Structure 1
């Protein structure tokens, strides 16, 4: 089962983990991305994410397709990304993967995270404590 979501709601990590759980699997690996309070010497107070939602979801589906071709033993994948305001310490991205064994699920989480950064059209603006904001470029982005 695949579980994809882009939302302005707070991400429910437990529900996401439960969505990938499987009796056939002995491993669930998870990545939880949070907003940190600094970037390049500036104090960050929050992030703001925007997405080209339909294209982002299509790209996430494509990532899952590629992942399942490369790792057919993977059972379930969930990718949930927040949009809108995400304050320091809050969760902006959760990737959860279940598989029979841990090595594959760890490898897949890293693969998916890299692909999200590379091809999914979600854009991030940082807001700073001292005032001002800046859209962040993604050096990993393929476009």
Structure 2
């Protein structure tokens, strides 16, 4: 993992009782519930004037499918965390004024309403915070090797759409 990147593990994730990582980047995979507010608090430093926090939650539908009851996520943790670190490094190249970045994804069984992913970006100004956070979640979703099984009233199905970071054009990531 690149220097300055702290990997979140089940004992270290955005939650009120977890110890935050050293450095300015918090990436990882965890089976524990995520707390977007804790991630936003960690992304806030004295020189930060804007914090954008995104919590991706399990919803009760998917394209062409109503009645989704749960999702199950699996990941090859080492590869997923390394890819997430690359996404954050890309954010930092594009928006060099960004101070802190959180990108943590959950694995395991999640019910409707639970957070599956949290991204938080702290920057001196809102423009770079919003742009960096949007790029981070869009690129994470498009490139990190995670497998998602949707469960709905009539069945369940696994799928993954991860692609190399360089293959995702900014307009394709939305």
In structure 1, runs of 5+ residues without a counterpart are none
In structure 2, runs of 5+ residues without a counterpart are 1-23, 165-174
Displacement of 1:65: 1.1
4+ aligned runs moved over 2 Å, structure 1 = none
What does the per-residue CA deviation read over 1:7-48, in whole Å, with 9 as the maximum and x for residues that have no partner? 111102222112111110110001110011012133100000
Aligned equivalents of 1:118, 1:90: Cα separation in 2: 21
Is it true that 1:24 corresponds to 2:47 in the alignment? yes
Residue 163 of structure 2 aligns with which residue? 142
Aligned equivalents of 1:73, 1:85: Cα separation in 2: 36
* RMSD over equivalenced CA pairs, Å: 1.2
TM-score, normalised with respect to structure 1: 0.92
Displacement of 1:123: 1.0
TM-score, normalised with respect to structure 2: 0.77
Report the number of matched residues: 140
Displacement of 1:80: 1.2
Judge conservation of contact 1:3–1:19 (CA < 8 Å) in 2. no
Relative contact order, higher structure (CA 8 A, sep 6+): 1
Residue 169 of structure 2 aligns with which residue? none
Aligned-partner SS, 2:103:
strand
Q: Indicate the structure with greater strand content.
A: 1
